[in-house]
A and B are shown apart, each in its own frame.
Chain A
Amino acid sequence: MEQTVLSEVLQDNVEQLKQVFERNSDCIFQSIMIAGRFPAMITYFDNTCDTKELNRSVITPLHRMQQIRQVNMDDLRNVIDLSHMKTIQNLDEAVQNILSGNPVLLTDQVQGGLVFSLAQWEQRGIEDPMAENVIRGPREGFTESVGVNISMVRRRLKTSDFKTEECTIGTMTNTKVVVAYSDSLSHPTIREELKKRLQKIKIDKLIESGELEELIEDQPYSPFPTIIASERPDVITAAITEGRIAIFTDGTPFVLVVPSTMNSFFQSPEDFNQRLLIGSFIRFLRYAFYFISLLAPATYVALLSFHQEMIPTLLLLNIASSRESVPLPAVVEALLMEIMFEGLREAGVRLPKQIGAAISIVGALVIGQASISAGLVTAPMVVIVAITGIASFMVPHYAEGIAPRLLRFPLMIMAGTMGLLGLMLGTIAVVIHLCSLRSFGVPYLVPVRAKDLKDTVIRLPIWSLDERPSTAVPEEITRQAPHQKPE
Chain B
Amino acid sequence: MGQKEQISGLQMALLMYTAILATAVLLIPSISASFAMQDMWISPLWTVFVGATLVFGMYRLHLKFPGENLIQYIPRIVGRVPGVVMTMGLILVQVLFTGVIVREYSDFVIGAYLNKTPDIMIMFVMIAVCAYCVYQGIEVMGRCAIFFVPIFIFLIFIVSVLLIPEFDVTNFMPVLGNGILPSMKGSFVIHEWISEFVLISFLFPFLGKKEKALKWGMISLGAVIFSMVIVNSVGLLLFGSIAARLNYPVMAASRYISYGQFVEHVESVVLTIWVTGTFLKITVFYYVSVISISHFLKLKNYRTLIFPVGLWIIVLAKWTGHSALDVSIGISTTLVVIAMVIFYLFPMLLVVIAEMRFRKPKEGAR
Q: Which residues of A contact B (CB under 8 A)?
A: 193, 306-307, 309-310, 312, 418-425, 428-429, 431-433, 435-436, 438, 441, 443, 445-446, 448
Contact = CB atoms under 8 A, between A and B. Distances in A.
Contacts of B144: 428, 431-432, 435
Given A425-B125, A446-B146, A420 B269 contact: yes
Nearest to A449: B8
A436 B122 CA distance: 25
B266 A310 contact: yes
A443 B261 CA distance: 43
A312 B266 CA distance: 12
Nearest to B112: A421
A20 B363 CA distance: 70
B147 A441 contact: no
B114 interface: yes
A470 B139 CA distance: 18
A312 B139 CA distance: 41
A310 B276 contact: no
B113 A306 contact: yes
Given A424-B273, A428-B144, A435-B144, 15 more contacts: A193-B1, A306-B113, A306-B268, A307-B113, A307-B265, A307-B268, A419-B114, A420-B272, A422-B125, A424-B272, A425-B125, A425-B126, A425-B129, A431-B144, A436-B136
Contacts of B122: 418, 421
Given A432-B144, A441-B1, A421 B132 contact: no
B268 A420 contact: yes
A193 B269 CA distance: 45
B268 A419 contact: yes
B199 interface: no
Contacts of B109: 421
A310 B268 contact: yes
In the A-B complex, the 3 residue pairs with the closest CB atoms: A435-B143, A446-B143, A436-B136
A436 B132 CA distance: 10
Contact of B132 (A418, A432, A441): A432
Interface in B104-155: 109, 113-114, 117, 122, 125-126, 129, 132-133, 136, 139-140, 143-144, 146-148
B140 A432 contact: yes
B158 to A, nearest CB: 16
B136 A435 contact: yes
B143 A443 contact: yes
14 contacts: A310-B268, A312-B262, A418-B114, A421-B271, A424-B273, A424-B275, A425-B125, A425-B275, A428-B129, A428-B148, A428-B275, A435-B147, A436-B140, A441-B1
B206 interface: no
A422 B275 CA distance: 10
A431 B268 contact: no
A318 to B, nearest CB: 15
A421 B275 contact: yes
Nearest to B137: A436
Contact of B272 (A312, A421, A436, A443): A421
Contact of A429 (B1, B117, B129, B265): B129
Contacts of B139: 443
Contact of A310 (B132, B269, B273): B269
A422 B264 CA distance: 21
A428 B279 contact: yes
A183 B130 CA distance: 43
Given A418-B117, A425-B129, A428-B129, A309 B265 contact: yes
Contacts of B268: 306-307, 309-310, 419-420
Given A435-B140, A446-B146, A423 B272 contact: yes
Contacts of A420: 268-269, 271-272
Interface of B: 1, 8, 109, 113-114, 117, 122, 125-126, 129, 132-133, 136, 139-140, 143-144, 146-148, 261-262, 264-266, 268-269, 271-273, 275-276, 279
Contacts of B265: 307, 309-310
A47 B144 CA distance: 57
A316 B125 CA distance: 30
Given A424-B276, A435-B144, A419 B132 contact: no
A429 B132 contact: yes
A433 B269 CA distance: 23
Nearest to A422: B125
A419 B276 CA distance: 15
A217 B265 CA distance: 45
A448 B209 CA distance: 14
Contacts of B113: 306-307, 419
B133 A432 contact: yes
* Interface hub of A429, A432, A438 (most chain B Cβ within 10 A): A432
Nearest to B126: A425
Contacts of A306: 113-114, 268
Contacts of B271: 420-421
A431 B148 contact: yes
Nearest to A307: B268
Contacts of A422: 125
A445 B126 contact: no
B342 to A, nearest CB: 29
Contacts of B1: 193, 438, 441
Contacts of B146: 446
Given A418-B125, A421-B109, A436-B140, A431 B272 contact: no
A445 B147 contact: yes
A438 B113 CA distance: 38
Contacts of B261: 312
Nearest to B109: A421
B290 to A, nearest CB: 16
A432 B114 contact: no
B311 to A, nearest CB: 19
Contacts of B143: 435, 443, 445-446
B185 to A, nearest CB: 35
A24 to B, nearest CB: 46
B208 to A, nearest CB: 10
Contacts of B269: 310, 420
A87 B56 CA distance: 75
B151 to A, nearest CB: 10
Nearest to A311: B265
A428 B122 CA distance: 15
A295 B264 CA distance: 21
A309 B113 CA distance: 12
Nearest to A312: B262
B10 to A, nearest CB: 9
B121 to A, nearest CB: 8
Contacts of A445: 143, 147
Contacts of B8: 448
Contacts of B129: 425, 428-429, 432
Nearest to A426: B129
A191 to B, nearest CB: 14
A300 to B, nearest CB: 14
A418 B269 CA distance: 14
Contacts of A310: 264-266, 268-269
A433 B139 CA distance: 12
A441 B276 CA distance: 27
B55 to A, nearest CB: 24
Contacts of A421: 109, 114, 122, 271-272, 275
Contacts of A448: 8
Given A309-B265, A310-B266, A428 B272 contact: no
A420 B269 CA distance: 8
A1 B114 CA distance: 71
A309 B265 CA distance: 6
Contacts of A312: 261-262, 264
B289 to A, nearest CB: 18
